[in-house]
Amino acid sequence: MADQEPVPGGNGSGENSSEPQVSILAQYIKDLSVENPSAPQVFSWQVQPGLDVQFNIAVGGAAEDVHEVTLKIEVSARSENGVHFVVDLSYAGLFGLRNLPEEALQPFLLIEAPRLLFPFARQIIAEAVSSTGFPPLLLDPIDFTAAYMAQLQAQQGAGGAGGQEPTETPSQA
């Protein structure tokens, strides 16, 4: 039976493998704020608001081999008439990481982990905006690789990075 054969290269027990292991342990909303400060007047405004989207990534340790990655997204819609809506979301995930090479840890936490969290955060924002009485807002995908590389370049340009990689990546979408 093929499903009972040991994995080639493994030790047969499934434990103490030296292969890199990544798992998503949990995903959750840490904080969500939704404002429609100009209601009900905003619904009679005949102007298209400008959108401002900002995002930030924070990484912290939660336990041994467990890291919390928080994707903070702030969206505001404003026009010359005033604020249409504001949504602030902090969406986080707990990632179990074992046997990851040191040089792969920060890129995973600041690129891949947020990339995995983003579709869920995007859906929460769409539903939150819809709940304010506006059409759902579907955010464009974010290039987390470009944001990470820009952060690295900024740190190297500052000269004070000391070879350390960032643990927080602020950016504008």
Q: Where are the domains of the chain?
A: 21-172
- pLDDT tens digit string along 128-145? 999 999 999 999 999 999
* Core vs surface per residue 82-106: b (16+ CB within 10 A) or e: eebbbbbbbbbbbbbbeebeeeeeb
Average pLDDT score over residue span 29-48: 95
pLDDT in the model for residue 157: 82
- pLDDT tens digit string along 89-128? 999 999 999 998 989 999 999 999 999 999 999 999 999 9
Angstrom distance (rounded) from CA 109 to CA 58: 9
pLDDT in the model for residue 13: 46
Where residue 16 falls (left for φ over 0; alpha for ψ -120 to 50; beta otherwise) is left
pLDDT bracket for residue 15 (50, 70, 90): low
Is the pLDDT higher at 51 or at 154? 51
Q: Are 98 and 65 in contact (CB under 8 A)?
A: yes
pLDDT in the model for residue 155: 85
- Length in residues, the chain: 173
Say yes or no to pLDDT of 75 above 60: yes
Alpha helices in the chain (DSSP H): 102-107, 113-131, 144-158
Say yes or no to pLDDT of 4 above 90: no
Least confident of 11-20, 64-73, 111-120, 161-170: 161-170
pLDDT in the model for residue 172: 52
What dotted CATH number matches 21-172? 3.10.420.10
Q: Are 137 and 126 in contact (CB under 8 A)?
A: yes
DSSP character for 59?
E
User: What are φ and ψ of residue 109, in 5° steps?
Assistant: -70, -30
CA torsion sign for 127, 132, 137, 139 is negative
pLDDT in the model for residue 139: 96
Where residue 99 falls (left for φ over 0; alpha for ψ -120 to 50; beta otherwise) is left
pTM of the predicted protein model = 0.80
User: Which structure tokens are listed for 105?
Assistant: 């840890």
The DSSP element (H or E) to which 67 belongs, if any, is: strand 66-79
